[in-house]
Structure 1
Amino acid sequence: MKLRFFLIALTSIFLVSCWQTKSIVPKDIESPFFGNSNAKVQMAIFTDFQCPACIYFEKNIWKKILSDYALTNKIWLTYKNYPLSIHKNAQDDALAVMCGHAQWKYKDFSDKMYALEETKDWLRISADERLKIATEIWLNVTAYNKCIDEWNYVNKIKEDMTLWDKLWLQGTPSVYINWKNVDFRNPDNFFEILDQ
C-alpha cells in the first residue's frame, strides 16, 4: 500500500513538473506584449524579420490579431525573436526592433522592418537603413544608437531562442497558443481557435 501511494505521488510530481516546464511562456517586460495578461487565450509568436513566411504572417494575419483580439483585450500576445542563422539580416533586425521596443515603438519599428525586408529581396540591410527607420518613427536616436552599440538586447534574443528550443517549435513564424503550437496557414481555422 505504501509503495502504491509512493508511486502515485511520484508520478503526480513528475507530471506536474513536466506540465509546468512545457506550458509556460514567460511574461516579461523585455518582450513586446499587447492585450490583457489575464486573458483566457495566451499567445506567443516567434518571428524572424527576414523570413518570407513571417512577412506573410505580418501582412495577412498579425494586423487582424492585433486589432480584433489583442487591442480589444480578448487575448494576451507577446512577440519573441528567433532570428534564423541562414538569414544574414535577422540578428541585426531583431536587435534594432528590440531597441525600438525599448522606446515603446515595437509595432512601428517591426512594421517598417518587415516592409524593408520585403523590398530588399534577401539583400543585406545596412545599419544606416535601420537608423533611417528609427528616425522615421521618431525614436531618440542617441538612445537607439547606444542600445545598438551596447547590444542591449542580445541576451534577451538568446533567451527567446532558448525558449523556442525548449518548446520544440519548428520554423518561423511559430505561433504558440495556450500550450500548443498552432498552424497559422489556414486563417479560418486559426481564428476559430482565437474565438473559442
Structure 2
Amino acid sequence: MKVLATVLFTVLLALRASAQRGVFIGVDDDPMLGSPDAKVLMIEFGDYQCPSCRMFWKEIEPRLKKDYIDTGKVKLVFRDFPLTTHPEAVLAAMAVNCARDQNKYWEYHDKVFREQYNKGDDVIRLKPADLKKWAKDIKMDPAAFDRCLDSEKYKDEVMKDKMEGEAAGVQGTPTFFINGRVMGGAQQYPEYKKLIDELLR
C-alpha cells in the first residue's frame, strides 16, 4: 500500500510540474472540433473504453462546446491513448479513425461513447460487429467502413498517438493538454473553465 501511495504521489508531482511549465503537443492531421483560429487548443488523450473519458464526453464536453468551442474560443482535438487494460480500445480507436474517411469522425466518436454510456458505468466490451452496426446507424458506407476496420488501416496512426502521449508523460486517461498545460483525470467543469478563462485573458 505504501508503494502504491508513493507511486501515485510521484505521478501527481510530475503532472503538477508539467502543468506549471507547459508541454508542447502537436496535432498533426488529427480532426479538430471548433475554429482553427481559436486561441485555446485543448488536446484530450483518451480511450474509448475508459469510463472517465465517457463521463467527460457526457457531462463536461457539451458544456465546453456551448461555452467555448461553438463561440470560437477553444478548439478540441482527441488523440488516441488506448490502455492495455482495455482489450478493445485499439479496435474502437481504429473504428473511429475509419469514420474520418467518410467525414463522420466526430459523429461516430459520439456514437461510440453514447452506446456505451447507455449500457452502464463499467468498462463495456466492444465487438467488431457492434462497431460495424453503429457505422450503419449513422449512414456510413458499410462496405467501405468494414474494409477499413478489417484491414487495420489506422492501427499505426492510433499507436503513434499513444507513443507521442507517452513521450509527453501521459500515463492514464483522460489526460488533457490545454495550451500545453496539463490536467490529468476527469475534473469538474469549473476546473476546466478556470484554466481556459485564464488562458483567454
The aligned residue for residue 24 of structure 1 is 24
Secondary structure of the 2:162 match is: helix
Secondary structure of the 1:163 match is: helix
The aligned residue for residue 66 of structure 2 is 67
Q: Aligned in 2, Cα 1:173/1:146: closer, same or farther, shift over 3 Å?
A: same
Higher relative contact order (CA 8 A, sep 6+): 2
Q: How big is each residue's C-alpha offset from its partner over 1:48-92, in whole Å with a ceiling of 9 and x where there is no partner?
A: 011111111111111222233223221121110111010012111
The aligned residue for residue 142 of structure 1 is 143
The alignment-based identity, stated in percent, is: 29
How far did residue 117 of structure 1 move?
A: 2.6
Alignment of 1:66-85 (within 5 A): 66-85=65-84
Secondary structure of the 2:41 match is: strand
C-alpha distance in 1, partners of 2:155/2:131?
Answer: 17
Residue 196 of structure 2 is aligned to residue 194 of structure 1: yes
C-alpha distance in 2, partners of 1:175/1:126?
Answer: 28
Alignment of 1:103-142 (within 5 A): 103-118=102-117, 119=119, 121-142=122-143
User: Does structure 1 retain, via aligned residues, the 8 Å contact 2:93–2:158?
Assistant: yes
User: Does structure 1 retain, via aligned residues, the 8 Å contact 2:60–2:189?
Assistant: yes
Secondary structure of the 1:78 match is: strand
Q: How big is each residue's C-alpha offset from its partner over 1:127-184, in whole Å with a ceiling of 9 and x where there is no partner?
A: 1111110001111112211211221111111111011111112310111111111254
Residue 94 of structure 2 is aligned to residue 92 of structure 1: no
TM-score (norm 1): 0.81
C-alpha distance in 1, partners of 2:128/2:55?
Answer: 24
Q: Which has the larger radius of gyration?
A: 1
How far did residue 43 of structure 1 move?
A: 1.1
User: Does structure 1 retain, via aligned residues, the 8 Å contact 2:45–2:176?
Assistant: yes
5+ residue gaps, structure 1, are: 1-21
Runs (4+) of structure 1 exceeding 4 A deviation are none
How far did residue 107 of structure 1 move?
A: 2.0
User: Does structure 2 retain, via aligned residues, the 8 Å contact 1:169–1:181?
Assistant: no
